[in-house]
């Protein structure tokens, strides 16, 4: 299986206004998993952002920014879950 077909985990910590935010979304395939960190979590309450289904976000970054009650519980990911995700995906791209 060549590398492009392999599903990837995308770790995105840029705010929506950062060019790399759109670059990440553009690079994602349906089978990929997106995990939002740090500034990127504000995209969850950005009316202009369109995030792939199943997008997850680091719970501590959401709580820090007062977003915990604005995010679906299923999307909130703690550190252990994040480590688990990095174990599940062979291909990991940090944006």
Q: Which is nearer to another protein, 3 or 47 (CB)?
A: 47
CA 14 to CA 8: how far, in whole Å? 18
Q: Which stretch binds another protein (CB under 8 A): 3-11, 27-35, 56-64, 83-91?
A: 56-64
Q: Which two tokens stand for residue 74?
A: 């299923």
Q: Which is nearer to another protein, 65 or 81 (CB)?
A: 65
Helices and strands per DSSP (H, E), number in the chain: 3, 5
Residues between 14 and 33 with contacts to another protein, criterion CB under 8 A: 15-17
Q: Which is it for strands 91-94 and 76-77: parallel, antiparallel or unpaired?
A: unpaired
CA 11 to CA 64: how far, in whole Å? 18
Does residue 3 interact with another protein by CB under 8 A?
Answer: no
Choosing from 12, 28, 57, 61, the residue that interacts with another protein (CB under 8 A) is: 61
Q: Which two tokens stand for residue 93?
A: 């791209």
Residue ranges in contact with another protein by CB under 8 A: 13, 15-17, 38-39, 42, 45-48, 60-61, 63-70
């Amino acid at each position: 299986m060549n590398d492009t077909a392999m599903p990837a985990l995308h770790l995105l910590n840029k705010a929506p206004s950062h060019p790399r935010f759109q670059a990440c979304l553009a690079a994602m395939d349906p089978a990929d998993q997106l995990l939002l960190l740090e500034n990127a979590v504000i995209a969850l309450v950005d009316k202009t952002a369109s995030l792939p289904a199943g997008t997850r976000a680091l719970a501590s970054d959401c709580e820090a920014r007062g977003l915990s009650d604005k995010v679906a519980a299923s999307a909130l990911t703690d550190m252990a879950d994040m480590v688990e995700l990095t174990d599940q995906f062979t291909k990991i791209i940090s944006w």
